[in-house]
Structure 1
Amino acid sequence: MSFDLATRPLTAIEARVLGTLMEKARTVPDSYPLTLNSLVLGCNQKTTREPVMNVGDAQAQEALDELKRLALVHENTGGRSARWEHNFQRGVGVPEQSAVLLGLLMLRGPQTAGELRINAERWYRFADISSVEAFLDELQERSLEKGGALVVQLPRAPGAREQRWAHLLCGPVDVTTPVPGAYSGAAPALQERVNALEARVATLQASVQRLCNELGISTVPASPPGQD
C-alpha cells in the first residue's frame, strides 16, 4: 500500500530522516543500514543540507517510529544495535529515478532540473536534463488515484534563468512567493558592495579635499567621460 500524502504529510524532521537514509544507502553502502547515531550525524550535516538542522537522538527516534508505522522505513535488529533502512520507493510507489529526485529535494530544498541532475551524480546518473524534467513532470502530474502530485514547479525567482522544483511530501507549498535560491540573494549582495564602494569613494574624496586645503590648492573636477 502506497503512502497517502493527503492523509498524512511528513514533518520536516521525518523528511530529513528519510532523505538521509536514502542518501546513505547510495553513497556509503558499506555503512548501510544506519544506526541511530550515524543517522543523526547525517541529518545534521552542514553541507548538502537545506536548511541545516540540529536533530536530537530523541527526535530522530520519534521520526523513525512514525516512518516505520507508515511503512517508509524498516528496522533491522539482528546486530548489536538497531539499524534502519528506508522503504521509500515501494512505500510511496514511484520508480527509482523519481525516488532519487524526491530524496534530493528533501535534503537540499528547491532546485532546478539542472541542479538536480548535477546533485544526483552519486545517486543516479541521468542521461540529460530532459530526462530529469520528464520525471519531474510525471511527479507533478501524478493522478489522484496514485496519491496526487509529489512535486510542484515554483515561480521563477528574481534574476534566475530557470524555475525551481519543490517536493510536496510535507504538504502544500506556497507557490505565490518565489522561494529564495542561488540567484535571489545576488541583488542585495551587489547593492551592499555598491554601498560600501560609494562610502569608500566619499571618504577618499574628503581626504583629498582636506589635503588640498592644507596645501592651498584647489581641486580639479573630473572631466565627464569622453572629454579632455
Structure 2
Amino acid sequence: MFQVRVLGEHGPYPAPGGATTGFLIQTDEGNVLLDCGSGVFAELTKYVKIEELDAVLVTHHHADHVSDIPVLRYAVMIAQNRKLLRQKLPIYANQEPQHLFASLAFEPYVTTHKLSSASNVQLIGASFTFANTIHAISCLAVRVEYKGNVFVFSADSGPCAALEQLAKDADVFICEASWLEKDKGSAEIGHLTTKEAARIAKRADVKQLALTHFFPDYDRSVIQKEAEEAYGSAVHLCKQGEIISIS
C-alpha cells in the first residue's frame, strides 16, 4: 500500500465544513501527516488514532499549513499521559524562519527536526526529499518514494524550475492551484494559476496531476477546464476525505 488521504484542499482559509492543507501519507509501514492546516486535525482523527501517527512533516509556516499543530500537540500530550503513546512524536519542519521553527517545540511530548532542500529523511519505509519553492516565506516541495513509486507535493509555490525537476516522472503530482488565470497575483506572493500548475506537470511528464489549495469560492468546473486545456488530458481535483493511490 502507498496512498495519500486528502484531509483538506482549501487555501488560504477553509470553506464551511472544510479544511486547508493536510495530507495523510500511508504505506504498509506507517502513517505520516503532511502539513496540518485549519480543520486538518479533526479530519485526521477520522482515519487514524494519534498513537498510530509516526511523524508530522511541515512544508512551511503559513497558518493554512500549520494552524492545527498546537491542537495536535495537545492530543499527543494527552495520549502520552494516558499511556497510549509511549514515545515523543517527531515533527520534521522547514527550518526557516528560525523563530517559527522554534515555536513548534513542546517538550517533553514532541521532538523537532530541521528540514532544508538538502534533507533526505527515511520514514515509514519511504524516502522523503525536498526542493525550495518560490513563495512569500521559505517553503519546501516534497518528493516521496516508496517501493519504486513516487508521490510529489508542490506545497505553495510560484513557477519554479526546482519544483518541476522534483516532480519529474512522478506517479502522482499534487500541485497547488491557488488562482484562476484572471486572478493571477504578483510573483513575490508565490502561488500558481491552474494553467501554470498544469504546464509544470506536463513538462515534468507526471503520470497523474491532482490539484489542490483552492480558493473556497471558486467554481470547480472552471478550475478543471482551465487546467485540462493546459495539460492536454484529464486533471483530478482533490476532495476532502478521498484516497489517492500511488502506483
More helix by share: 1
Q: TM-score, normalised by structure 1?
A: 0.28
More strand by share: 2
Q: TM-score, normalised by structure 2?
A: 0.27
